[in-house]
Amino acid sequence: MNIQAEKLIELVKERHHQSKSRKAKFICVSSGKGGVGKTNFSVNFSWLLANRFDKKVLLIDADIGLGNVHVILGVSPEKNLKLLMKGADIRDLIQTYENIDILLGFSGIDSFQELESIDTITVINKLEKIADIYDYVILDAPAGINENVLKFAVSSDVTYVITTPEPTAITDAYALIKTLYKLYNYDCIKIVANMCRNKNEGFSILERMRASCENFLSFRPKVAGVLPESFNLKVAVRKREPVAISNPQDQYVLALMEIAARETGEILKEENSGFFEKLKKFLGIKS
């Protein structure tokens, strides 16, 4: 085993230990393949947790080099993590947007040397120190299966792995799960199918993925949910506004709301007692 892998395994053990004592739940949003909807998931999920579930949320654009949370939110990144490496307080780098604290720290770093000077582990350690004021810390991770994604994932209490119905996205999502599980024994994984034509399409993809994991890895990731293809989402991206704000009744937003409710534990209580009624009330829809 190489030194990097050994270091990561140590990190996983340390994180599992630390995460039990920290208050905030760290959620990593990852995928394997790019362009499958991680950033939209992260932004809208954060917005729903903060504004529909009254949670204190820190959203981090951890897509080093290609961060675009700010593009979807229509804000400009004021400060980046270069300052952190120079000793700045991480709290001073946080901006707020609609009750979400956001750290756009990796945006605006425009040379490879600058990127290399940022140590992900230092960032995570600094985050641990401020995490107590949050209920959730959401990390919008980079695509690919690189060291940064793995560090963010293994440092998180839950890693959502997003795929779409495309075979290439499914293969890459499976490869990421396999790496996390086989190399790092990390199993806090929930799978999401995005851009689906209907629920059946999504759930059959997720079931097939689970079967492959079971057959080849002897491990079954949890199913988080299915998100539909949404025209409103595309329009919202162009308007630089989260679809949860522009179209609160869109099917994508409602499906994401279910995932968020399951994450906070509220669906378990509400499932049999008019969850959708409560949802409609939340969203101001008359039944």
Ligand X SMILES: Nc1ncnc2c1ncn2[C@@H]1O[C@H](COP(=O)(O)OP(=O)(O)O)[C@@H](O)[C@H]1O
49: tokens are 């947790």
- The least distance separating ligand X from the CB of residue 142, rounded to whole angstroms, comes to 9
The reply to whether 19 sits near Mg ion by the rule CB under 5 A is: no
Helix axes 275-283, 251-264, angle to 10 degrees: 120
Closer to Mg ion at the Cβ: 71 or 267?
71
CB of 39 vs Mg ion, minimal distance in Å: 3
Of residues 240 through 259, those in contact with ligand X by CB under 6 A are 252
Q: Which does 252 bind (CB under 5 to 8 A by kind): Mg ion, ligand X, none?
A: ligand X
Using the rule CB under 6 A, is 36 a contact of ligand X?
A: yes
What order of strands is seen across the sheet that includes strand 136-140? 94-97, 100-103, 57-61, 136-140, 25-30, 158-163, 189-196, 222-228
Choose, by CB under 6 A, the member of 30, 51, 230, 264 that binds ligand X. 230
Among 19, 30, 31, 39, which residue interacts with Mg ion (rule: CB under 5 A)?
Answer: 39
Q: Could you tell me which of 159, 135, 137, 136 has the C-alpha nearest to residue 149?
A: 159
Select from 49, 237, 253, 254 the one that contacts ligand X (CB under 6 A).
237
Q: Does 195 bind ligand X (CB under 6 A)?
A: yes
| SS3 category, 278 | helix
Residue whose beta carbon is closest to Mg ion: 39
Return the one option of ligand X, Mg ion, none that residue 227 interacts with (CB less than 5 to 8 A, by type): ligand X
Under the criterion CB under 6 A, does residue 60 sit at the interface with ligand X?
A: no
Token representation of residue 102: 């956001």
Instruction: In whole angstroms, give the CA distance from residue 141 to residue 150.
Output: 9
Residues that bind ligand X (CB under 6 A): 31, 34-40, 194-195, 227, 229-230, 233-234, 237, 252
Residues that bind Mg ion (CB under 5 A): 38-39
